[in-house]
Amino acid sequence: MTDFELTRRRLIQVGGGAAAASLMVTAESALGQARGVSAAGQPMPEGVELPDAPPRQRRSDSVGFAIIGLGDYALKQIMPRFDQSERAHIAALVSGNPRKLREVGEAYGIPPESRYSYDSFADIAADNGVEAAYVVLPSGLHAEWTERAFAAGKHVMCEKPMALSSEECERMIAASNRANRKLMIAYRCHFEPYNLKAVELMEAEAVGDLRLIRTEHSYRMGPTTPAENWRVSRALAGGGPLEDYGIYGLQAALYLSGEMPERISAATHRPIGDQRFAEIFAHVSVQCRFPSGAAAHLVTSYDSAGLNMVETRGTSGALMMQPATNYSGNTLTLEAGREKHDLSPGNSNVQFARQLDHLADAIRGGTPIRTPGEMGLRDVRLIEAIYASAATGRTIMLNPDGTMRS
Ligand code: NAD
């Protein structure tokens, strides 16, 4: 059994091939309802620069978004980028902090009647100016607020990780189907020029046959406790760095290989006596093997000097990205034989607005969503397999949909 305390345990079967096919072990499954967490107002994050003038709405058929959760990422990255969007605008705000709600509402030109608290959120159903909700809350609240948004008849953009358990993800997809509304996971790298170029190069076999992927997403978190920072609270962040940051490496391994792993083994570490890691892991290290025979080594940490890196190695070359999945400043180098080419496929900054426009297109034109709920579910299943491996010391065999083979 892992040292990771469990909210609720479920019995699963994991197999290391035929010999271990019926080994029964327990694995963690933190269900949202069982966690007892709820949305609560927080202070204005430090360093927020509110706009001098509200962003423009470019087209009459632009899709109105409600922003649920006015935290660091919403206020510093997402909301300012609506100005670059062709087909999406901010139509409502949802926050538990009345003062922040007023200040942000005034700066973004959102009228008082379109500013909601968590308690008054259900009223948004009657707000015809709002067609979509962007859930930018702590990860442990994604499932609940996505379901609430569907209940109010809105489409949903949900931040990563989709949720903290595959059961929650399945509920979110079912709610989307019941409401006949779109569900998109905000995996921004699917709209980021350097990552898109890397996928194009991999598909064109620019490195030959893929052999190895290495990713690292790490930084050193300052002193903190679960009571003061949701990122180190198990109920709101799951296992910690993997769901929050390592998920970029997991995603990259999948979109660069174009494959699903067929086996996973992993190790976690949680130092004793460090309040940052009283409830979450400090490091997670994962080995994947793909059906082609290619391997991936993924590392993520909240306790080592910062690195954001993705590398693929094939039989005739390599792709190096460092940083690989940042908001801006990503790099891409193609190494072929003795030659190295630094590529500049565009401005990373466009990823945010493109992501917003993509959901707006899907809502208006019925176009398929590149990063649907099913992708978020797939990734959460892999995260569950990673923790199951770390908990048991076993290699986990996987089905193509990411579920664990019994
Ligand atoms: P944050 O702590 O800065 O903001 C979270 C906000 O949620 C708070 O300000 C508050 O308004 C609201 N909130 C409601 N209930 C809360 C509660 N019980 N505890 C804490 N906050 C509560 O966090 P953030 O960095 O903005 O992250 C928010 C979401 O965005 C997370 O899901 C995170 O994974 C995601 N995110 C994504 C990216 C990306 O690049 N796609 C980057 C950063 C964060």
Residue labelled with tokens 């030659």: 339
Residue nearest to atom 44 of ligand 1 (CA): 73
Q: Which domains does the chain have, with CATH numbers?
A: 63-188+365-371 (3.40.50.720), 193-347 (3.30.360.10)
Residue nearest to atom 35 of ligand 1 (CA): 159
**Over 60: is that where the pLDDT of 8 sits?**
no
pLDDT of residue 337: 86
φ and ψ of 40, to 5 deg: -145, 140
pLDDT of residue 406: 73
How large a percentage of the chain has pLDDT more than 90? 88
Centre of ligand 1 from the C-alpha of residue 163, in Å = 13
Instruction: Give the chain's mean pLDDT.
Output: 92
Centre of ligand 1 from the C-alpha of residue 356, in Å = 18
Q: What is the Cα–Cα distance from 183 to 374, expressed in whole angstroms?
A: 9
Residue 353 vs residue 17, higher pLDDT: 353
Contact criterion met (CB below 8 Å) for 96 and 42: yes
Contact criterion met (CB below 8 Å) for 121 and 94: yes
Residue nearest to atom 38 of ligand 1 (CA): 73
Q: How far is CA 186 from CA 97, 142, 248, in A?
A: 24, 12, 12
Q: What is the Cα–Cα distance from 201 to 210, expressed in whole angstroms?
A: 11
Q: Provide the pLDDT confidence category of residue 14 given band limits of 50, 70 and 90.
A: very low
Most informative mutation of 37, 38, 42, 250 for ligand 1 (most atoms within 8 A of CB): 42
Q: Provide the pLDDT confidence category of residue 31 given band limits of 50, 70 and 90.
A: very low
Q: Choose among 251, 183, 190: nearest CA to 217.
A: 251
Q: What is the Cα–Cα distance from 137 to 174, expressed in whole angstroms?
A: 20
**Over 50: is that where the pLDDT of 291 sits?**
yes
Atom of ligand 1 nearest to the CA of 188: 41
Q: What is the Cα–Cα distance from 105 to 96, expressed in whole angstroms?
A: 13
Q: Provide the pLDDT confidence category of residue 55 given band limits of 50, 70 and 90.
A: confident
Strands 24-28 and 283-289: what pairing?
A: unpaired
Catalytic choice (118, 187, 248, 302): 248
Centre of ligand 1 from the C-alpha of residue 341, in Å = 37
**Over 60: is that where the pLDDT of 66 sits?**
yes
pLDDT of residue 36: 84
Per-residue b/e over 147-156, b at no fewer than 16 CB within 10 Å? bbbbebbbbb
**Over 50: is that where the pLDDT of 106 sits?**
yes
**Over 60: is that where the pLDDT of 342 sits?**
yes
DSSP 8-class letter at 39: -
Q: Determine whether 116 is an active site residue.
A: no
Reported as half-sphere exposure (CB side, CA atoms, 13 A), residue 59 has a value of: 12
Q: What is the dihedral of CA 119, 124, 126, 130, to 10 degrees?
A: 170
Q: Determine whether 160 is an active site residue.
A: yes
Helix axes 193-203, 247-257, angle to 10 degrees: 40
pLDDT of residue 57: 75
Q: Choose among 345, 403, 405: nearest CA to 167.
A: 403
Q: How far is CA 191 from CA 42, 345, 358, in A?
A: 30, 12, 9
pLDDT of residue 34: 53
If you average pLDDT over residues 82-111, what whole number do you get? 97
Q: What is the Cα–Cα distance from 355 to 87, expressed in whole angstroms?
A: 11
Encoded tokens for 180: 């006949």
SS3 call for 251? helix
pLDDT of residue 23: 25
| Bond into 323 cis (ω within 30) | yes
Centre of ligand 1 from the C-alpha of residue 335, in Å = 37
Q: What is the Cα–Cα distance from 188 to 199, expressed in whole angstroms?
A: 14
pLDDT digits 0-9 by tens, 153-165? 999 999 999 999 9
Atom of ligand 1 nearest to the CA of 95: 11
Could you count the other beta carbons within 10 Å of the beta carbon of residue 123?
12
pLDDT of residue 376: 98
Q: What is the Cα–Cα distance from 237 to 187, expressed in whole angstroms?
A: 17
**Over 50: is that where the pLDDT of 16 sits?**
no
pLDDT of residue 24: 25
Q: Choose among 287, 288, 286, 270: nearest CA to 278.
A: 270
Q: What is the Cα–Cα distance from 330 to 345, expressed in whole angstroms?
A: 10
Atom of ligand 1 nearest to the CA of 243: 34
pLDDT digits 0-9 by tens, 197-255? 999 999 999 999 999 999 999 999 999 999 999 999 999 999 999 999 999 999 999 99
Most informative mutation of 100, 229, 230 for ligand 1 (most atoms within 8 A of CB): 230
Q: Give the rounded distance of the alpha carbon of 157 from its chain centre.
A: 11
Contact criterion met (CB below 8 Å) for 157 and 146: no
Q: What angle do CA 330, 333, 335 make, to 5 degrees?
A: 165
Catalytic choice (116, 134, 154, 160): 160
User: What is the number of residues in the chain?
Assistant: 406
